[in-house]
Amino acid sequence: LTVGGDSSTQREEGNNHFKAGDVQQALSCYTKALKISDCQSESAVLYRNRAACYLKLEDHTQAEADATKALDVDQGDVKARFRRAQALQKLGRLDQAFTDAQKCAQLEPKNKAFQDLLRQLGAQIQQKLSSTDSRVQQMFKLLLDSSAPISDRQKAAQNLVVLSREDAGAEQIFRNDGVKLLQNLLDSQQEDLILSALRTLVGLCTGHQSRTMAIVNEVGMDRLCGVMGSAASTVSLSACHLIQVMFEALTEGMKKEIRGKDEAILPEPSRELRSMLRHLIDMLPASSVSGAGRDSAINLLVKQVPRKSLKNPDNSLTLWVIDQGLKKILEVAGTVPEVKGGPPLTDNTPMSCSVLLNKLYDDLKSDKERENFNKLCEEYVQYHFGSSDMESKLRAIQTVSVLLQGPSDVGNRTLELSGIMDAVISLCASENITHQQVAVEALIHAAGKAKRASFITANGVALLKDLYKKSENDRIRVRALVGLCKLGSAGGTDFSMKQFAEGSTLKLAKQCRKWLCNEALPLTSRRWAIEGLAYLTLDADVKEDLVEDKKALQAMFELAKSEDKTVLYAVGSTLVNCTNSYDVEKPDPQMVELAKYAKQHVPEEHPKDARSFVEKRVVKLLEAGVVSALVCMVKQESPALTEACREVILALVERQEDRGLVVAQGGGKALLPLVSESTDRGKIKAAQALAKITITSNPEIAFPGERVYEVVRPLVSLLALDCTMLQNFEALMALTNLAGISERLRLKIIKEKAVPKIEGYMFEEHDMVRAAATECMCNLALSTEVQKCYLATDSDRLKLLVLYSGEDDERLRKAASGTLAMLTGEMPELCTRIPDTTSHWLEIFQALLLGESQDLRHRGAVIVMNLMQADKSLAEKLMESEALEILSVLAKGDDPKQASIQKAAQRCLDLATEYGLIRSNEGGVNGKTM
């Protein structure tokens, strides 16, 4: 029989079972027919029929999926559409069901079943709407009744939030003038009601462009920014989240599935977007805005303004913000909190300003644009520095400090303006604590450039030492200490570039650890102590001392759980240094020899930065609880932190024996957000760390629940030419692990278009990569979708498996023969095509039966058994070969460990007897019949 004939027979058999009421048997027949069908239109009919079975069995999710597959082939298939409408009705997706039923009725207006379903759905939708409408009205009535108990009003507000998360509820709230009510709640003085109003507005705006535009115009950004600028941190954060959702709805709403009937004719929302951004810019210098609200505005600008990808040529939004708001950003950056008259700041504000300025500068495309940015910054600094007012000079120096941390090229240019550096040095000796503090911080940030560090070492070290030893103010002492730390680490990881005398950096680090562990000190002082360690840990001696000090490590990890981003950046840098997870380019040996010959300086690696030392440091960090600190840092969603966390986690999972501890402490959960953020290179590193964990841990424990499905895409991204061979290999191993768990995971891997990539790696020259790809394909071949690929007559997939089953590499042989054993069992029609793959097929299978490995013998016996079951002529060829003698020996063994091999071999002999190819007696095989 042809393949098509086979599937037709199975379909007819299924139809007969369905008519007879044996739905389960009908389902089985349709499924078998789908496996062997090579005709798209026939498969569509089979999917449609199977959907009918699933409806009878009340598996409505599968019924909807199969009906959709049928409709993917033929949109005019009215039976498939009717069945999908029935399934959607049972699943509660009434709007979609109504659309399908409506199309059915249009195609066949006289069909009573279609008309009946349409009426049912219309009534159900109306009932749901009226029910939702009455609930909305009830909530409104309670909220507008000022005499109602406050607990009832709060409950009503919470119910409104829940209703807004459903599209029907959101639409009812919106159409019943709910936005006006929500405005009243925003103006109330009760925090619970304000939070409920903000969360309800989030429900109204999520993914809905037209409602968002209406809310922007009706509520007004003035009011929303006012709420975000409030002193109550929870209210401020909720307002920030709402504005973020509004931005997303306006920028991405046109790309998403249309939810509102009027969405398709909306104008481009650029006017509303720019209006929102202008309000955020205006918030920055406003003294009425709280520090938390200001930070939220800065973070929203960071997320919304720069291009998401530099491949996008349009950076007009960045240029507009620089033109409209750079001076306002610099005004915040230059604010000295201790000087009266400036807007309120948090400890995070200067760092947030640095991040925003850096993002804007990085988004510029040309030298002309960068020169304009530099010019605006220089003009601002010169204007304030040129004033006779000391407070204005301090503002200029503080602005330079922030620029040195952000776009450092711009910061370096402003620092070189006439008189700035001299003023910094002289103010360090001021008797005014605030003046000293601003100057010392500027000095610290100025020491970032090696050439300037040398200048400051010559001119400023004595000054900093003097401040550290003689100042009576802890704020100044700890900053002077950090300045010394930074200067002491100016040689970086170059062991030969010691800035200070032997042992000085260790003394500085010891003092930093002492400050860090002193809980009596204010948080800001302890934060600066970590900052000092971030510089000093470039020295391997300091790294070794730090990891031995468990108390200091735990104090650092405890501080990492705070929301102070400056602390988090310092912790991230320290951990990157301790784990050596920074990138170090190994110099070409020939270039090193040339450099030595030319008497050029050649960087030297510290002996304690060798791999064995790094591994021991990683163990110490894990024992002290480093993963819990990293989990907290990841939650901050800061780009700079993301980069550091990714590097550190990859270093922590380098050794296989450490991965269990990383998973137990929540490392798998922390990794997932890191694969979708930051640079392409960063994503690859995070994906590699995921692969390492997935290879050696149970993925369902490392990534519980739905998280395991999020692992697939990053792993598939490692199957690329620009990734290393090791990354390719680890991705294949991890995908093999996932593919062995469930059909749903296999389908997810297939959906991510991984199969062609995996097949490509099956041709790789590297033995381990080729074997890993074949193992992965073995597990994926459990899926019907992949099995169909092997039925295609125009491919050499089957031939490759047969040939690989005869290779020398045992791991490759096991993977290929395992895939063959499974495929020939699932699809008997493949068996008849095996002799056409290669003339050596018999020798290859005989070699499997004689294999040294028990696994190979078992696979060989199963393949031979499948071939014999599928086709008598194949059985004849096998029995005419040496396979008969080998099978006879395998069937006689009495080793319980080889019971599965004996069973398969005996089944082969039984089949040969049934076919009349051999005679059998109680003693075993008697001989052949010809």
- Per-residue pLDDT of 340-390, as tens digits, reads 778 888 888 888 899 899 999 999 999 999 999 999 999 999 999 988 889
pLDDT tens readout for residues 218-244: 888 888 888 898 878 888 888 999 999
Distance CA 60, CA 75 (A): 20
Question: Same domain, yes or no, for 664 and 745?
Answer: yes
Indicate if the pLDDT at residue 758 is higher than 70.
yes
Mind listing the pLDDT tens digit for each residue in 774-820?
999 999 998 888 888 888 776 788 999 999 999 999 999 999 999 99
**CB contact at 8 A, 419 and 385:** yes
Mean pLDDT of the chain: 81
d(CA 429, CA 426): 6
How many domains are contained in the chain? Answer: 4
Phi, psi (deg, nearest 5) at residue 752 = -80, 10
| Domain end among 52, 81, 110 | 110
- The answer to whether position 329 is within a domain reads no
Lowest mean pLDDT among 158-162, 493-497, 840-844, 887-891: 493-497
* Positive or negative: CA dihedral 397, 403, 404, 410: negative
Residue 16, classed as helix, strand or coil, is helix
For residue 66, which of 31, 105, 115, 23 has the smallest C-alpha distance?
A: 31
Supply φ then ψ for residue 545, to 5 degrees.
-65, -40
* Cα–Cα separations (whole angstroms), residue 179 to 173, 183, 251, 654: 8, 6, 22, 53
User: Domain for residue 320, yes or no?
Assistant: no
Q: Is the pLDDT of residue 84 over 80?
A: yes
Residue 576 lies in a domain: no
Asked if the structure places residue 813 within a domain, the reply is: yes
Q: Are 160 and 196 in contact (CB under 8 A)?
A: yes
Burial of 232 (0-12, 13-18, 19+ CB in 10 A): middle
Q: Domain boundary at 65, 81, 110, which? A: 110
In sequence order, the β-bridge partners of residue 925 are 920
3-class DSSP state of 405: helix
Asked if 752 and 639 sit in the same domain, the reply is yes
pLDDT of residue 342: 80
Binning pLDDT at 50, 70 and 90, where does residue 267 land?
very low
- In-domain check, residue 298: yes
Half-sphere exposure in the Cβ direction for 181 (13 Å, CA): 25
Return the structure tokens found at 624.
């002290």
**155 and 91, same structural domain?**
no
pLDDT at 586: 52
pLDDT above 90: residue 595: no
Tokens 């030969």 found at: 496
CA distance 213 to 268: 11
* Residue bearing tokens 């932190």: 641
802 neighbors 837 (Cβ within 8 angstroms): yes
> Residue 62 in contact with residue 43, Cβ under 8 Å?
no
Handedness of CA 819, 825, 826, 827 (dihedral sign): positive
User: Same domain, yes or no, for 752 and 829?
Assistant: no
Is the domain of 87 the same as that of 167?
no
Least confident of 111-120, 146-155, 682-691: 146-155
Whether the CB-CB separation of 51 and 84 falls below 8 Å is answered with yes
Are both 820 and 887 inside the same structural domain? Answer: yes
Task: Tell me, yes or no, whether 101 and 173 share the same domain.
Answer: no
What percentage of the chain exceeds 90 in pLDDT?
A: 24
- Looking at residue 254, its pLDDT comes to 41
pLDDT mean over 892-899: 79
Instruction: Please name the residue ranges forming H helices in 635-766.
Output: 639-652, 659-664, 667-671, 680-696, 699-702, 707-710, 712-717, 725-739, 743-751, 755-761
Q: In degrees to the nearest 10, what's the CA dihedral of 644, 650, 654, 658?
A: 90
Give the pLDDT band (50/70/90) at residue 398.
very high
Between 199 and 569, name the one with better pLDDT: 199
Least confident stretch, 74-78, 117-121, 424-428: 424-428
Cα dihedral: 848, 853, 856, 860 (round 10): 50
Instruction: List the structure tokens of 227.
Output: 């709420």
The pLDDT value given to residue 144: 66
Instruction: Tell me how far apart the alpha carbons of residues 406 and 360 are, in angstroms, rounded to a whole number.
Output: 10
Cβ-count burial of 666 within 10 angstroms (0-12 exposed, 13-18 middle, 19+ buried)? middle
Report how many helices (DSSP H) and strands (DSSP E) the chain contains, helices first: 52, 2
pLDDT at 714: 87
Q: Within 220-259, where are the H helices?
A: 221-228, 233-252
- 334 three-state secondary structure: coil
CATH code of the domain covering residue 176: 1.25.10.10
> 176 or 68: whose pLDDT is higher?
68
Between CA 709 and CA 699 the distance in angstroms is: 10
The domain spanning residue 37 has which CATH number? Answer: 1.25.40.10
Residue 176 lies in a domain: yes
Report yes or no on 824 lying in a domain: yes
Residues 53, 170 within the same domain: no
- Looking at the fold, whether 841 and 725 belong to one and the same domain comes out as no
d(C-alpha 600, C-alpha 590), whole Å: 13
What integer is the mean pLDDT of 496-510?
63
Contacts of residue 725, Cβ cutoff 8 Å, sequence gap at least 6: 766, 769
Distance of CA 854 to the CA centre of its chain: 41
pLDDT at 298: 92
20: domain range?
7-110
In the prediction, which pLDDT does 575 show? 85
- Is there a single domain that holds both residue 665 and residue 765? yes
Retrieve residue 306's tokens.
Answer: 């720069």
C-alpha radius of gyration, the chain, whole number = 35
What is the DSSP secondary structure assignment for residue 926, as one 8-state letter?
E
DSSP class of residue 766 equals: S
Res. 337: pLDDT tops 80: yes
Which one is predicted more confidently, 26 or 258? Answer: 26
State whether 687 and 824 are in the same domain.
no
Query: Averaging pLDDT over each range in 1-5, 229-233, 549-553, which range is the top one?
Result: 549-553
Residues 774, 814 share a domain:
no
- CB 242, CB 282: distance < 8 Å: no
- Do residues 813 and 858 touch, judged by C-beta distance below 8 A? no
Supply 847's token pair: 């070699």
pLDDT digits (tens, 9 = 90+) for 616-628: 888 888 888 887 7
31 domain residue, yes or no: yes
Classify 429 as helix, strand or coil.
Answer: coil
Q: Phi and psi of 919, rounded to 5°?
A: -105, 150
